[in-house]
Amino acid sequence: MILGMTWCQTREQEDIDLDLSVLLYDGNWNYIDNCSFSNLNIAGLEHSGDFVEAPYPDGAREAVTITFAPMLKKYPNVRYLVVMVYSYSGQDMDEMYDGSVFVANPYKTGTGPGGMDVISAARLSGKGTSNCAGFVGLESGDPNGRFTFYCVDQTFTGNERAATSAYEMVAKHLQRITKNVELEDPPYVRLSVLSAYYAALVSDHVTIVYDGGEKTLTYDGKGSRTDFYKQISAAMLPLKDTLSSNVPSILPADKDHTHLVVFGGELVQAGQTYLSNPSYATPEDSTTIRVVNLRADVAKEEKKPINSKLSVSYLTSTDVLQFFGA
């Protein structure tokens, strides 16, 4: 397994020095060791080396290659490997022009950095100098046993800049996550719930599209927006999640209105699928659709043309309230 990161500065930015570290813990989240720029080689883990800048346009990449057998021979109690990124030069993760963390299979080729087969990836973002991309959980000390990668994608608000200064804080936060994951009924917020929340805040008419058809709810102005959200959520509860072929029918050709589409799942792939569908009712030239990406927090609006008669703006979840003046 390869755990790595890539980043790139703009032409105008000062040097950005990011450091990739992998922290090792036992099953009770007691710290064992780390592989980092100051500790390049430990049993079963090899760091690619320290890069102190990432000039435009090529950027830089750091990675840690993991071989489980020698690691578990030296550290038989290891059960968690945590992927951490530290901004040694002190910039917030939000200041990255382009930065991401990835998990890759070194035995297959793919479309990831250096031609690697990427299993999971997440963009670096947030206010803070230390980011926990995720962690690998091992079920046992068997190198051929089952392991699971948990994507955390969380930037901490502290000012930690090295593995040795943050391992206790990391363990404290991740211990809470693993306790919840191990529960029979773990608590979590579905993206469909978030989509209902955003829709209730910014729209008076909300249409829920599902396999059996459509349901439209209207805000009557008598209660709060939270009450309206509860109505939407209650209506969604018995319905099966879907990306229905009926979606186009909720976007009528109306040049006087902006239509908001809020996705509770993968946005770009799903959006391209239904907006490119030949069965889509062709709108007027001036129709605009605003699509909220609940899975991204990149502070920018990204325009992606679908066809000559449809203007689509992909807004991030952090932008949407400000955009609609809510």
List, for residues 119-171, the tens digit of each pLDDT value. Answer: 888 888 888 888 898 899 998 889 888 888 888 888 887 677 777 777 888 89
Whether residues 166 and 229 fall in one domain: no
Which of 127, 155, 181 corresponds to the end of one domain? 181
Q: According to the model, what pLDDT value does residue 211 have?
A: 67
Q: According to the model, what pLDDT value does residue 263 have?
A: 52
For the chain, the average pLDDT equals 75
Q: According to the model, what pLDDT value does residue 49 have?
A: 93
Tell me the whole-structure pTM to 2 decimals: 0.61
Whether residues 165 and 202 fall in one domain: no
Q: According to the model, what pLDDT value does residue 178 have?
A: 80
Whether residues 238 and 153 fall in one domain: no
Whether residues 174 and 236 fall in one domain: no
Q: According to the model, what pLDDT value does residue 258 have?
A: 53
Average pLDDT of span 12-21 = 90
Q: Residue 190: pLDDT band by 50, 70, 90 thresholds?
A: low
Q: Are 82 and 137 in contact (CB under 8 A)?
A: no
Q: Is residue 186 part of a domain?
A: no
Domain count, the chain: 2
Exposed e or buried b per residue across 180-219, where buried means at least 16 C-beta atoms within 10 angstroms of its C-beta: eeeeeeeeeeebbbbbbbbbbbbbeebbbbbeeeeeebeb
Q: According to the model, what pLDDT value does residue 127 have?
A: 84
Q: According to the model, what pLDDT value does residue 175 have?
A: 86
Q: According to the model, what pLDDT value does residue 279 have?
A: 38
Whether residues 63 and 136 fall in one domain: yes
What is the span of the domain harbouring residue 92? Answer: 2-181
Whether residues 17 and 146 fall in one domain: yes
Residue 183 has pLDDT above 50, yes or no: yes
Residue 114 has pLDDT above 70, yes or no: yes
Longest dimension (CA), the chain: 67
Residue 230 has pLDDT above 60, yes or no: yes
Whether residues 132 and 203 fall in one domain: no
Q: Is residue 261 part of a domain?
A: yes
CA 310 to each of CA 78, 203, 258: distance values in angstroms, whole numbers, following the listed order: 53, 21, 12
Q: Which residue has the higher pLDDT, 192 or 49?
A: 49
Which of 181, 211, 246 corresponds to the end of one domain? 181
CB-based contacts of 184: which residues, under 8 Å, 6+ apart?
none
